[in-house]
Chains A and B, each alone.
Chain A
């Protein structure tokens, strides 16, 4: 029973960590970033490179965050900004960008699977259960991330500006907020979060040019039903991740793989605006 609870909590934690980058970009920029999966993959390859260079595996996460942030700034300036007033084209552009990034990895590293070392090996004893140490670490990471991002939005100048842009962009611009700057930093932040998340999930998985794709689908569903709010993203991760674990455990892991998508569709049918905007 404790093992089941731990499975649910850690699965939710991983989903949350993977989805934050997508959500923050959707919130501020009203843009569904379909390159999110490719950003996750980028983080995975950074973790692989850090491991291959023999560095401490923990270094992969800050390295991925920083590189992702910088790449995000460049991408926003060159690809996203010219398409601000063509939102559908912007979404298509991120989709294409995702494909290009994936192909670049395929050409550079080949289509085969690569490995990144895990910073935490073995298990930890929790209430008499041996449980994967790394999954428990992901739980801690998710909590820290939720607190830090909420604080960023609530207590900083950037957060205030971002919330103003989320609420009403023309009005915020009228009040002298440089919304282009907010958008640019947001995209960098979203890309940085996605890369860091990719580096974080890699020790449990393997790295290949398409590793981000299934995660893109799940985070998309989560963000759709949670709306733009970190607490409701946490709730959505717990609810959907928990259902996935329960279905996998008691019914069939094959159905478990579809749970998030099916449940998200049902929730959107009953509550078209998701959780936070209901």
Chain B
């Protein structure tokens, strides 16, 4: 009997100490295969770097952080499997993801059922509200104004033409752009969409020509559509001011002189001359060497979101979901993008940068817009 109690006691204490050392699990659903696999490696690297840095300073509440990465196949179906596995089998404490909206929306019900905090780190079309979600990337309210204002003041543009891919982000961004242009006294002389996998822009370019606009703003799906549209515009000799919502630095670089003159708006540019950004770039370079991916608008918010989660757990004193959700809106992260706090109806005010692609494909900073407000996103979370 005594021996049994003793054994039980040893067992319990071993169990308890194992429990204390149990790492905090951060789930990363990401498109390792499929369309998003172009950008996925940079997001994974940024996450690994954040976890390594935090662990080397003793972790959070004495516990180490551990990444649990799941492939979502870049789509909604794969996302459901990835979320299911992360939330219910691997029992992660938080999910941090830069998936596209469709994949994330597929995962949200699972997050709600499993009551796991989710930090969304991709720019998107706005107004997604969930009790378990925070967002640290930009929405149309932060993205549209800089480029439209610049075209109106610098080029005296009045007539705008809008081209997009036919999906939630493409249409959402351009609808907001139309409202914004009209509110500023301009007009939209044409708005045209092609399916996401479409590559023949001939008819749209002819429409653009006959509408004779002063400026062009486009919001296509990342990857191939970015490129085909730009090439065909250039081949057709279109040279009006050209703003691109979905163009990232990496794609611009590979497009070379085709992309020259395109304006992009971002909350992060790898050329940012801040100490935090320089340190971050060095750390990525040091950790991954020649296989380092260029940090971008998706990977940097991912890095910052892991720091935000770590800070929220410290503040809450536990990984309890409700307490962490409460704390996430109160912690500030000093990251490569500056200081970010997700206290605007679950979104964040961000420093936005207007850049122009140079002949060699690099992005030159034209103007910066400090602390751009995300506007009315989720009024129901105004005081939480």
Contacts of A92 in B (CB 8 A): none
Q: How far is the CB of A181 from chain B (nearest CB, A)?
A: 38
Contacts of A89 in B (CB 8 A): none
> Cβ of A249 and Cβ of B194 under 8 Å apart?
no
Contacts of A111 in B (CB 8 A): 35, 37-38
> Cβ of A132 and Cβ of B236 under 8 Å apart?
yes
B227 within 8 A of A: yes
B198-234: contact bitstring with A at CB < 8 Å (1 yes, 0 no)?
1111111011011000000000000110111001101
Contacts of A256 in B (CB 8 A): 203
Contacts of A112 in B (CB 8 A): 38, 223, 254
> Cβ of B194 and Cβ of A253 under 8 Å apart?
yes
Give the one of B192, B200, B256 with max A CB within 10 A. Answer: B200
B255 within 8 A of A: yes
| Given A3-B206, A205-B231, A257-B194: A113 in contact with B251 (beta carbons within 8 A) | yes
Contacts of A249 in B (CB 8 A): 203, 206-207
Partner among A113, A122, A131, A204 whose Cβ is within 8 Å of the Cβ of B254: A113
> Cβ of B235 and Cβ of A245 under 8 Å apart?
no
- Please name the residue on chain B nearest to A117 by beta carbon: B256
A53 within 8 A of B: no
> Cβ of A208 and Cβ of B223 under 8 Å apart?
yes
Q: How far is the CB of B165 from chain A (nearest CB, A)?
A: 10
> Cβ of A135 and Cβ of B235 under 8 Å apart?
yes
A110-126 contacts to B (CB < 8 Å): 110-115, 118, 121-123
> Cβ of B236 and Cβ of A123 under 8 Å apart?
yes
> Cβ of A7 and Cβ of B203 under 8 Å apart?
yes
A214 within 8 A of B: yes
> Cβ of A115 and Cβ of B255 under 8 Å apart?
yes
Partner among B202, B231, B251, B254 whose Cβ is within 8 Å of the Cβ of A245: B202
Partner among B166, B200, B209 whose Cβ is within 8 Å of the Cβ of A3: B209
- Please name the residue on chain B nearest to A205 by beta carbon: B228
A45 within 8 A of B: no
Partner among A10, A110, A130, A206 whose Cβ is within 8 Å of the Cβ of B202: A10
Contacts of B273 in A (CB 8 A): none
A107 within 8 A of B: no
> Cβ of B254 and Cβ of A114 under 8 Å apart?
yes
How distant is the Cα of A110 from the Cα of B197 in the complex, in angstroms? 18
B62 within 8 A of A: no
How distant is the Cα of A254 from the Cα of B193 in the complex, in angstroms? 7
> Cβ of B227 and Cβ of A204 under 8 Å apart?
no
How distant is the Cα of A131 from the Cα of B202 in the complex, in angstroms? 11
How distant is the Cα of A171 from the Cα of B214 in the complex, in angstroms? 66
How distant is the Cα of A10 from the Cα of B236 in the complex, in angstroms? 13
Q: How far is the CB of B237 from chain A (nearest CB, A)?
A: 4
Interface size on B, residues (CB 8 A): 36
A135-B202, A208-B223, A214-B197 are known contacts; what are 19 more A-B pairs with Cβ within 8 Å?
Answer: A11-B202, A112-B223, A113-B224, A113-B227, A115-B227, A115-B231, A115-B254, A115-B258, A118-B231, A122-B237, A123-B236, A131-B236, A132-B235, A203-B231, A203-B235, A249-B203, A252-B193, A253-B193, A253-B194
B109 within 8 A of A: no
Q: B residues touching A (Cβ–Cβ < 8 Å)? A: 35, 37-38, 166, 192-195, 197-204, 206-207, 209-210, 223-224, 226-228, 231-232, 234-237, 251, 254-256, 258
Interface size on A, residues (CB 8 A): 37
- Please name the residue on chain A nearest to B228 by beta carbon: A205
A19-42: contact bitstring with B at CB < 8 Å (1 yes, 0 no)?
000000000000000000000000
How distant is the Cα of A195 from the Cα of B84 in the complex, in angstroms? 43
A-B contact pairs, 5 of them (CB 8 A): A4-B206, A206-B224, A252-B193, A253-B201, A254-B198
A188-221: contact bitstring with B at CB < 8 Å (1 yes, 0 no)?
0000000000000001111010010010000000
A248 within 8 A of B: yes
> Cβ of A253 and Cβ of B235 under 8 Å apart?
no
> Cβ of B195 and Cβ of A248 under 8 Å apart?
no
Partner among B198, B209, B223 whose Cβ is within 8 Å of the Cβ of A113: B223
A16 within 8 A of B: no
> Cβ of B210 and Cβ of A3 under 8 Å apart?
yes
- Please name the residue on chain B nearest to A122 by beta carbon: B237
Partner among A110, A130, A206 whose Cβ is within 8 Å of the Cβ of B227: A206
How distant is the Cα of A4 from the Cα of B256 in the complex, in angstroms? 30
A187 within 8 A of B: no
- Please name the residue on chain A nearest to B256 by beta carbon: A115
A159 within 8 A of B: no
How distant is the Cα of A253 from the Cα of B199 in the complex, in angstroms? 11
| Given A112-B38, A112-B223, A249-B207: A118 in contact with B235 (beta carbons within 8 A) | yes
How distant is the Cα of A10 from the Cα of B35 in the complex, in angstroms? 30
- Please name the residue on chain A nearest to B201 by beta carbon: A253
